[in-house]
Amino acid sequence: MKNQTMTELPRPKGGDSEKITINLGPVDLGQIDLLVEEGFYSNRTDLIRTAIRNQLALHAQAVHETITRRALVLGLQHFSRQDLEAVQAANERLNIQVLGLASIAADVPAELARETIESVVVLGAFHASPAVKAALAGRIR
């Protein structure tokens, strides 16, 4: 079983982001709208992103220690068909552990993924074809 090495990549920009949905009470939402109306933030999203980044900065040391302890790849980890064919030829299996984005190329057959990927742990987003996700369903945590 093989783990990837840790690599750091810059934070995604603009269109390279994932959409999340949150529920807020009317008072919290009203306070956000007030701050936007008063010009503290350009919009609701700006305030929410700023608040999240402030909390992440507050906990940066704990995040760094956990990334190191759990041997997570930080940033983007992409697997092409050629990558997985090389793993298969070496008679190895991957344990994918990513904090960020893990992706498997669209041309990777489900059977190749099943034969070469032991487990997938992604804190963030995992992009793969529906067939590959189905083939790995029991291995994704």
Q: Report yes or no on whether pTM surpasses 0.85.
A: no
Contact (CB, 8 A) for 134 and 110: yes
Contact (CB, 8 A) for 104 and 113: yes
User: What burial class does residue 53 get, using C-beta atoms within 10 Å of its C-beta: 0-12 exposed, 13-18 middle, 19+ buried?
Assistant: exposed
Q: How far apart are CA 9 and CA 16, in angstroms?
A: 13
Q: How far apart are CA 29 and CA 97, in angstroms?
A: 36
The token pair that represents 75 in the structure block? 């940033």
Per-residue pLDDT of the chain (141 residues; tens, 9 = 90+): 444 433 333 444 445 788 999 999 999 999 999 999 999 999 999 999 999 999 999 999 999 999 999 999 999 999 999 999 999 999 999 999 999 999 999 999 999 999 999 999 999 999 999 999 999 999 999
Per-residue pLDDT at 16: 72
Per-residue pLDDT at 134: 98
Per-residue pLDDT at 1: 47
Per-residue pLDDT at 13: 46
Handedness of CA 112, 117, 118, 121 (dihedral sign): negative
